[in-house]
Structure 1
Amino acid sequence: MLFCYKHPAAMEGRNTQETSKEKKSAIIALHNNGLSNGEVARWTGVHKSTVARWIRRYEATGSTLDLPRTGRPRCTTPQQDAAIVATVGANPITTPTSMLHQLRLSCTSQTIRNRYHSSHLHSRKTAKKPELTEENMDRRMEYALEYSSKPPILWESVIFCDEKTFCTSDQMTKRVWRRNGTR
């Protein structure tokens, strides 16, 4: 009997992903056993044009290996990528633009952000924490001690008690690069 890779009912699950090595081998084996491209397509669960392409490539090159792909080469080396990740790990508030100057890279700041993202680092706003000075801590303690001796009836008439600090500086919101869940 002929080599069988998949039952023809498997045609329902077609997709546009790369053809696996096993499917390529099955296409060539079934073709060499005398099956037509349509029959090979039904047995392997791939489109007829895909079968024809792999048969043509096999007959031309004698191999089913993928050919080199086109595209722009990366502008950073693996060592530079590691340096980018190490630098932002040491100082998460480093901006991509300052990283370019610091590491003397000849790429764009978007490339730096892409390297961050490929290392699962994402930009987040820094947590806003009020600065507690010695004076602030002393005033809070005085307030707590002053009202701790008051009768409980006083607190029944209090609706709201809180303190809020306001800042009117022109500073931009700082960003920090970190992995999810590592605040």
Structure 2
Amino acid sequence: MPRLRQNDRERAVGMVQAGMTHQAVADHFNVSRITISRLMIRLRQTGRTNDRPRNGRPRVTSQRQDRHLRLIHLRNRMITAEDTARRTPGLANVRISGQTVRRRLRESGLRARRPVVGPILKQRHRTARLAWARARRRWRLHTWQHILFSDESRFSLRFSDGRYRVYRRRGERFTDQCVYESDRFGGGSVMVWAGICHDGRTQLKIVQGTLNAVKYRDDILDPIVLPFLQQRNFDHVFQHDNARCHVARVCQDFLNQNHIRVLPWPALSPDLSPIEHLWDELGRRVRHRQNPPETLQELRDALVHEWNNIPQAFIQRLIGSMRRRCEAVVAARGGHTRY
């Protein structure tokens, strides 16, 4: 016989209290008389008509096994729940599922998340980053204001972060409206270079082709960096990372001959450079344009336009975070930081 729904239980109680017999109420709802009798007994004992709490399905793992599952995933954060389930038997050697492992991990406060992608930091990199941050963690804002931070970045015409979602029904997975068509290589890309400081920024240089040491000297250092620093009476220190084209002898000779001071930079340290966050802001502005670029030339024009529209106050906030960045590297012992 069918179970009584909650609203039918309330109606059945009302009918009994109105004077109808249990059998008459049972016939009305097409259930047995004992169902109505037990319903009224439960009402008198608990004052409610809801089902009593049930123990549910017995757990297939013990508390000791639950602690063992938690320890496995604390020791190896990248292991999947399915791998753990295949290697871990439950009570009485019952096979457990990956969903069981995920439930046990959620109970202990562990949930699957997207990992942060960062560079491979070996011990020598961590040591150099820690020493660099310790030496500059007490620098005041006035010192950071006189540094010209520079970097290159590449922007693709077709951007995808892998987080697209589509609303579809069963069986519609491969319909045209539910397939995201993407170019394998992003539809082409544009490489740019720029520099920022507290009181200004350089032009956004569109880099054509491959950036080698000679092109870096002739197209960036000589026509852009040198005049920018001359306008400020060489009061600023130039910063660039340790890319091969930056540390080549032709570039080092040019910097020395023109008396351009260079800030030493630890390898694999994008989190210490404030311009990295500016590239993210520039990419968001280009993607959120009312008419996103469809060609490489439109992408170049959009990058230059949005670069000039970024408020200087935004750049000043990024440069003002340098002391916090150094403190974060020191706290992480040269490891990865939230920046």
Same fold? TM cut 0.5: no
TM-score (normalised: structure 1): 0.40
